[in-house]
Amino acid sequence: MAQEVSEYLSQNPRVAAWVETLRCEGETDKHWRHRREFLLRNAGDLVPATPGEAADAESGSRNRQLQQLVSFSMAWANHVFLGCRYPQKVMDKILSMAEGIKVTDAPIHTTRDELVAKKG
C-alpha cells in the first residue's frame, strides 16, 4: 500500500503539498508514512480542491473536521507505535478508520494488565 500512496501523491502534487502541512515536527519518516496513509484514507472532501481554497478549509466546520481527523491520526499512530490506549469509543473509531492499513514493523507492547496477569 505504501507504494500506492507514493504513486498517488506523485500524480497529485496539490494533495501531496496539502498533506505535508499536517506532518508534525520531529515525526519520524516511518511514523509519518503510516499516519499520512491514515489521513489520506479518511480526508474525503477535507482536501482543498484548489490552492486558494486552503483558506476556506481553515474555517468553520471543515476546520473542526480537519482538526478531528488530525487528532484521530495522532491517536492511532500513538496506539500503534507507542502502545498508548484511549477510551474504548476512541479506540473503536480509530481502529475502524485505520482498517486496511498494514503496519508490519510496529513494536509489540505489553500492557500493565498483561504483566500483572503473568505474575499471578
Return the residue matching grid coordinates 514493523: 105
Report pLDDT digits (tens) over 29-62.
999 999 999 999 999 878 876 655 555 545 678 8
Radius of gyration of the chain (CA): 16
Integer Cα distance of 44 and 109 in angstroms: 32
| Domain locations along the chain | 2-119
Integer Cα distance of 77 and 62 in angstroms: 22
Residues in the chain: 120
- pTM for the full predicted model: 0.77
Dihedral sign, Cα of residue 48, residue 50, residue 54, residue 56 = negative
Mean pLDDT, contiguous 10-residue spans, the chain (120 residues): 76 87 92 94 80 57 89 96 94 96 79 74
